[in-house]
């Protein structure tokens, strides 16, 4: 009986260590799904985006589109205010949208487009897939990092 319990405890310990190791690697996973695209952006973790947006709080909610929601965030340095576009990855089409946006925006430089700072493709605290793009934040302005314009900017342009 004791050898059986010892073996069972050892098995549970090994499986637990493997799960913890996998979760730690997930928080520093590549920024995009394709290995050839890893070098396109500097890395950012889910944890740093979660902190920057106060847990993706409604107070920092900027707006939503068909594929994603956007939150205002302040990065840990306190100097960089960013817009974090969090993709709804429940649908396969949204993952394709994330990858297409990464590919498109890496080559685009235009004065009327918001600059992409980085991307994040990892697992969140609940073990679900998480994909986000981090843009320069434009207060009270049009946000063209995925065809979304804030309500405030629409009303200001009418006046």
Please, which pLDDT band fits residue 57 given cuts at 50, 70 and 90?
very high
Please, which pLDDT band fits residue 141 given cuts at 50, 70 and 90?
low
Q: Where residue 82 sits, what CATH number does that domain have? A: 3.30.200.20
Over residues 7-30, the mean pLDDT reads: 73
Over residues 85-107, the mean pLDDT reads: 76
Domain that holds residue 50: 31-158
**107 shares its domain with 120:** yes
**130 shares its domain with 73:** yes
Percent of the chain with pLDDT over 90: 18
**88 shares its domain with 128:** yes
This prediction's pTM: 0.60
Question: Among candidates 112, 120, 109, 41, which has minimal Cα distance to 84?
Answer: 120
Pairwise CA distance, residues 153 & 13, whole Å: 55
Q: Roughly how many angstroms between the first and final C-alpha of the chain, as a whole number? A: 81
Q: Is the dihedral of CA 65, 69, 71, 77 positive or negative?
A: negative
* 3-state secondary structure labels for all residues of 59-123: HHEEEECCCEEEEEEECCCCCCEEEEEEECCCCHHHHHHHHHHHHHHHHCCCCCCCCEEEEEEEE
Q: Looking at residue 74, what is its pLDDT? A: 92
Which residue positions form the known binding site?
Answer: 85
Residue with tokens 């990065």: 75
Which residue positions form the known binding site for ATP?
Answer: 85
Q: For the chain, what is the domain count?
A: 2
């Amino acid at each position: 009986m004791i050898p059986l319990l010892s073996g069972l405890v050892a098995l549970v310990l090994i499986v637990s260590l493997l799960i913890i190791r996998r979760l730690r690697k997930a928080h520093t996973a590549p920024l995009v799904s394709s290995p050839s695209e890893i070098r396109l952006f500097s890395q950012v973790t889910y944890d740093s985006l979660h902190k920057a947006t106060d847990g993706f709080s409604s107070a920092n909610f900027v707006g939503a589109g068909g594929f994603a929601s956007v939150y205002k965030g302040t990065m840990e340095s306190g100097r960089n205010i960013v817009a974090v576009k969090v993709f709804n990855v429940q649908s396969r089409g949204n993952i394709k949208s994330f990858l297409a946006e990464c590919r498109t925006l890496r080559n685009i430089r235009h004065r009327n487009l918001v600059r992409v700072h980085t991307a994040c493709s990892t697992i969140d605290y609940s073990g679900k897939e998480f994909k986000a793009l981090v843009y320069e934040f434009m207060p009270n302005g049009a946000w063209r990092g995925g065809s979304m314009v804030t309500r405030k900017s629409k009303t200001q342009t009418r006046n």
